Amino acid sequence: MKPSPRLSLNNGVLIDQLGFGLYKVPPGDAAGLVSMALEAGYRHFDTAAMYGNETGVGRGIGSLSGFSSHDDARGGSGESSPALSREDLFVTTKLWNDDQGYDATLRAFDTSMANLGLEYVDLYLIHWPCAQRGLYSESYRAMETLYREGKARAIGVSNFQPAHLDRLLQTAEVVPAVNQIELHPWLQQEELRTLHRGLGITTEAWSPLGRGQVLQDPVVLDIAAAHGRTAAQVILRWHVQLGNVAIPKASSHDRIGENLDVFDFSLDDVAMQALGGLERGFRTGSHPDSVN
C-alpha cells in the first residue's frame, strides 16, 4: 500500500495528509488500535485530552519503538515491524475547554505530555474556541510559548469560525498552522477553506466520513461502484484531492487498511464536481458557536 503523502504546514513541518482519529475510542482499546494502524502504515494520530485515551495512544505509538516513557510500551509488540523513531510519527492532541487560560493551558499541556509519554507533540490545538469564555487568545499565547520552547512543533486551532480566527489574529504572533473543522461532502466549509488558503492555514477535516453517515449517499455509492472502490475510499480520495488533511476513525483491521488505501487511484473532474454538489449544511457534531 502506498503511504500517505505529506503536506507542508506554514512553518515547514510536514504532516501526513491522512491520519488516524481517536475520538470515542475507549481508553483500553486505544493502544491496540494505534498499534494496528501503525502496522497498516498510518504515522499520524489525532487524540485530545477530552478523549481520555492519551495514555493508551502513547502506549500504542511506543509499541514499535523505544521512545515512549511508558514502561510497558518499550520494546512492545512490534517485533515483526521495523522500529520507528519519534521523528517518523505525527501526534496531535488538543487543549480541553475547561483548561483554557494562559497558566491552565501550560498545566494541561504538561498533563497531556505525561499521559502520552512524549517529550513533545507535533501539533497542539485549541479544541473549541468557547468564545463566551473569552480565553482563547490567552490560551493561544501559552501555546506560542510551548511552540517557542520546542514542546509543540506546530500549534493551531479547531472549530474556529471566521470571526474567531479574525480576533485571534489580532494578537497572535504565530499564525495557526491548522484549523481542524468538521468537513465532509455534506458540510464542505467553502468559506473557511477559502479563508484558510489566504492565511496559509491548513484545513484539517474532522468526521471526514460524516461519522459514517455520508457513506450511504447514492452519489458516493455510484462513484464508488464506477471506480471499483468503497464509499469511504471515494470520500477520503475527495479530501486528498481538495488538499485537506483528514483523520478518519475506524475500529477494525479491514477498515483501517481500507481507509489508507486511496493513493493509487484518482477521481476525475466529473466525479469531483458530483461530490462538490452534495453540500447540505449537515453537521454530525455541535456548531462551534454553541460550545462554551
Ligand X SMILES: NC(=O)c1ccc[n+]([C@@H]2O[C@H](COP(=O)([O-])OP(=O)(O)OC[C@H]3O[C@@H](n4cnc5c(N)ncnc54)[C@H](OP(=O)(O)O)[C@@H]3O)[C@@H](O)[C@H]2O)c1
Which spans of this chain sit near ligand X (rule: CB under 6 A)? Answer: 21-23, 46, 127, 158-159, 180, 206-212, 215, 230, 232, 247-252, 255, 258-259, 285
Q: Which residue, 76 or 248, has its beta carbon nearer to ligand X?
A: 248
Containing 200, the helix (H) or strand (E) segment is: none
Least distance to ligand X, CB of residue 47, Å: 7
Name the residue among 102, 116, 87, 97 with its Cα closest to residue 146. 102
Specify the residue for cell string 491552565: 104
Residues in the chain: 292
Q: Which amino acid is at 183?
A: L
Q: Cell numbers for 197, please give them.
A: 488558503
- The residue from 42, 51, 136, 140 that is catalytic is 51
Of 53 and 63, nearer to ligand X (C-beta) is 53
- Between 159 and 202, name the residue whose CB sits nearer to ligand X: 159
Rounded CA-CA distance 250/255 in Å is 6
CA distance 113 to 106: 11
51 is catalytic: yes
> From the CB of residue 23, how many other CB atoms can be counted at a distance below 10 Å?
16
**HSE-up (13 A, CA, CB side) for residue 101:** 6
Q: What does the block give as the cell for 84? A: 520507528
Name the residue nearer to ligand X (CB basis): 46 or 54: 46
| Nearest residue to ligand X on Cβ basis | 21
Pick the closer one to ligand X by CB: 71 or 143. 143
Please, which contacts does 213-219 make with residues 24 or more away whose CB atoms are closer than 8 Å?
Answer: 213/186, 213/282, 213/284, 214/184, 214/185, 214/186, 214/278, 217/185, 217/186, 217/278, 219/274, 219/275, 219/277, 219/278
CB of 24 to ligand X, least distance (A): 6
* Nearest CB to ligand X, comparing residues 75 and 263: 263
Shortest CB 30 distance to ligand X, Å: 11
Quote the DSSP letter at residue 277. Answer: T
C-alpha cell at 7: 503536506
Would you name the residues annotated as active-site residues? Answer: 51
